[in-house]
Structure 1
Amino acid sequence: MATLYINRSDIQLTLESQTLRIEQNGTLKNRVPLKLIERLVIQHNITLDTGLLLKLAENNATVLILSPRHSRRVALMLGPAHNQAAIRLAQACQVSDAAQCQPMAQQLVISKIKRQQRLLKQALTQRADARKPLLDGINHLQTILDRLAQTTPDHATLRGHEGAAARAYFQAYAALMPPSFGFTGRNRRPPRDPINAGLSLAYTLLHSDAVRAAHMAGLDPMLGFYHRPSFGRESLASDLIEPLRPHVDAWLWEQIRSRHLRIEHFHHDGQACLLGKAGRDTFFAAWEQHAKHHRRWLRIQSAALAKYWRAQGTPLLADPDDEEE
């Protein structure tokens, strides 16, 4: 199964028997068997017929529509819901119990911070010139991990620890980036530099994969155990991607370091930094190779959570590094 990215205008997508037909300005460009498409990602103004959408939904394919300019998610179409409603009922009962959620939430935050620290330690072996900021970040994260190992914080305090860890981590992460990219820390809506533009797009794609994995496992993506249910937010998907964010950060650093993504791939429009078409082509091709591991991990974890919430057993939130192929 594969992801099909549509990253140009004047494209027409139509259904031809069991095949997706791709035309540009009336000229046939390609045909793709529908059975090979697991997800369709659209980031431009195109034309497609509803018969194609119906067939994609029947095949449990995901359709993700991104803003042509800012790479924000506009819409996400999923296939039919899981038939076992008992899973979602059990999930709703569990996530409404703060005492049940706290151990899982704390484990999740610890896992994420350990991944962040691991990335900085690995970077230290390759970037002796950034030794001080990297060591400062590593030590700061260790202090937070030590606190979490000794206490059982409430939800607000846990969020505070995660936020403090993120600030220390991204301050160290910034030392890995070329000064010309202007990255000094995380910002969004809109991202104001190339690194934040790349992170925002990658996190958007990752989050849509988490929504799909939860949906396919019979879970409600809106009901999370760490990110509390909130209007318009798929909180469980946000939970699922937390331990994977440092893997995405490492991947983006590699794209910058290897010059697969370069400063000329980006441009500014007001305060927003945008990834141009050539950059998106490069980004999507590299992302698809990287995404295989995290998609497998998301499927495994979603199935484990569904099983746990029905049986009220051990959550089994595995380390994503243990699932590498």
Structure 2
Amino acid sequence: MAHLIINDRVKSLECQAQALLIRQENKPPLAIPLRRLDTLVLLHSVSLPSRLISTAYEMGIALVYINTHQLSRSFTIAPPGSAVYSCRLKQLQLTGNPASVGLIRFWLDIKFHRMLKTVESCIQRRPDARKVLFDCQRTIRQCQQQLTSQHTQDQLRGLEGKAQQQWFYAYRCLMPDSLGFKKRQRRPPPDPVNALLSLTYTRIYLLAWQAALCSGLDPALGFYHKAGKNRQALACDLMEPLRPLAEQFVLKLFSERIIRQRNFTPAGSGCLLKQEALMRFQDTFESEALVWKRLLWMYTQTIKNKLESAFYEQ
């Protein structure tokens, strides 16, 4: 059974004789037998005829529509017994379950590994900050080595918090004093570094949200982060291993002078990126986003494989 993702713009979708008929501009229609599908994912606006919806539902095919411009308007129709229904049911059963610790260790191990690679790169490029970077490296390694001996989510959060605190202390030393970065601070970000970190995290969070939807997972049901109003907990989980890449990305923006201090404007007690610099940010972000999308897709498949096998590290 296939998980079909329609990423191209199509003229129309039709249901004819239990086949999905895809019509595109200047191309012959493409017919796909519905019996071969378990999930149909749509990434662009297209009319869904009621016959297609009802036939797919009767055949146990899940329909996932993703509004890439406003993800909160996305929806999933998962008939009982469909692959998406089964996957989300198992996901719900694992949420808050101590058995989810294995997944959390998996994410944090990747995160610590990427943090160490970033620190090692900075040691080579910034000999003036080696002392604080070596201290940071030692702390992160200790936290990574202790992962297997921690058996609760709170213990793992403690390790992550310790490593992250040490990294941001070193991160401060890597930034010019003129940028005014003292510590990680949000809502509102008081300086250019915090502003770009928040912007980059938000963009990756949206990619993670979309990846969860695209794979058939429920983006609101997380294992490490708790659900909340306007917060997709699984998207937060998925982006956790990518945070070091986001922080490295912001370092690159400033070190290569793609973004400069003069590109920000005060906004109350915070600061905002000016429009012309925002365009440069978006172009640079998109050049990195393909790799991040692939990683996020891999993480969703890891979750689905663990849910399917019903094997979790205790």
Fold equivalence (TM over 0.5): yes
Show the counterpart of 1:108: 107
SS at structure 2 position matched to 1:210: helix
Show the counterpart of 1:206: 204
1:181-217 deviations in whole A, cap 9, x for unaligned?
A: 1112211011111111111111111011111111111
Asked if 1 retains the 8 angstrom alpha-carbon contact of 2:265 and 2:271, the reply is yes
In 1, Cα distance between equivalents of 2:76 and 2:145: 44
Show the counterpart of 1:182: 180
In 2, Cα distance between equivalents of 1:133 and 1:93: 43
1:220-259 deviations in whole A, cap 9, x for unaligned?
A: 1111111133444211111111111111111111111110
In 2, Cα distance between equivalents of 1:254 and 1:56: 42
In 1, Cα distance between equivalents of 2:273 and 2:155: 36
CA gap 1:96/1:130 in 2 versus in 1, 3 angstroms: closer
In 2, Cα distance between equivalents of 1:208 and 1:132: 36
Q: In the alignment, residue 251 of structure 2 is paired with which amino acid?
A: W
Asked if 2 retains the 8 angstrom alpha-carbon contact of 1:64 and 1:208, the reply is no
TM-score (norm 1): 0.72
In 2, Cα distance between equivalents of 1:81 and 1:266: 43
Structure 1 residues 282-321: aligned runs within 5 Å? 282-313=280-311
Structure 1 residues 1-20: aligned runs within 5 Å? none
Show the counterpart of 1:72: none
Q: Does 1:128 align with 2:127?
A: yes
2:222 alignment partner, one of 203, 217, 224: 224
Show the counterpart of 1:78: 74
Show the counterpart of 2:53: none
In 1, Cα distance between equivalents of 2:76 and 2:227: 22
Structure 1 residues 260-299: aligned runs within 5 Å? 260-299=258-297
Show the counterpart of 2:17: none
Asked if 2 retains the 8 angstrom alpha-carbon contact of 1:214 and 1:237, the reply is yes
In 2, Cα distance between equivalents of 1:177 and 1:280: 20
Larger radius of gyration: 2
Asked if 2 retains the 8 angstrom alpha-carbon contact of 1:124 and 1:131, the reply is yes
Which shifted more, 295-304 or 249-258? 295-304
Instruction: Tell me the number of residue pairs that the alignment of Structure 1 and Structure 2 aligns.
Output: 259
SS at structure 1 position matched to 2:125: coil
CA gap 1:247/1:76 in 2 versus in 1, 3 angstroms: same
Show the counterpart of 1:154: 152
CA gap 1:249/1:284 in 2 versus in 1, 3 angstroms: same
SS at structure 1 position matched to 2:272: strand
Q: C-alpha displacement at 1:145, in angstroms?
A: 2.3
What percentage of aligned pairs have identical amino acids? 29
Q: Does 1:93 align with 2:93?
A: yes
